[in-house]
Amino acid sequence: MQHYVTKQMLTDLGIDIGDKNADSLLTHLNEKIEEMIGVEITEALDDEQLEELVKLQDKGTDDEIGEWIASHVPDYREIVEDNIDIAMGEMVDSADDINKVAKEQE
């Protein structure tokens, strides 16, 4: 799994949680971002390209898959950045609640 968001990024947003909670939150957040990116990528591909990508995912390496996506999805970097921004915006909106729950679990 790609790590799009780090604990430091959460700290910079004012989210103050311990390492145990951070690991869980980061795993969830990075998986969510990965799913969001995957949805946009599949929507950007035609049926033939999608079939090719599925075959590559079954037998290719992460590097090969990444190279394929970069060459077939011209807006890939923008898609990644937009989805990170969306997820981080949601985190900012929920920062107070996240901090409250984290303090209760200490």
Task: Provide CB contacts within 8 A for 36, sequence distance 6+.
Answer: 83, 86, 87
Tell me the mean pLDDT in the region 43-51.
95
Task: Determine the Cα–Cα distance for residues 47 and 45; give it in Å rounded to an integer.
Answer: 7
In a domain, 80, yes or no: yes
CA angle, 29 as apex, 82 and 84 as ends, to 5°?
10
pLDDT higher at 25 or 21? 25
- Number of domains into which the chain is organized: 1
* pLDDT at 40 (0 to 100): 94
In a domain, 67, yes or no: yes
* pLDDT at 20 (0 to 100): 76
The parent domain of residue 46 ranges over 7-100
**Phi/psi of residue 48, nearest 5 degrees:** -65, -45
pLDDT digits (tens, 9 = 90+) for 83-102: 999 999 998 888 888 888 87
Lowest pLDDT segment from 5-14, 39-48, 60-69, 95-104: 95-104
Q: Are 38 and 4 in contact (CB under 8 A)?
A: no
Q: What is the mean pLDDT of the chain?
A: 89
In a domain, 11, yes or no: yes
In a domain, 2, yes or no: no
Max Cα separation, the chain?
A: 51
In a domain, 82, yes or no: yes
* pLDDT at 106 (0 to 100): 66
pLDDT digits (tens, 9 = 90+) for 27-38: 999 999 999 999
pTM of the model: 0.82
Task: Determine the Cα–Cα distance for residues 43 and 3; give it in Å rounded to an integer.
Answer: 22
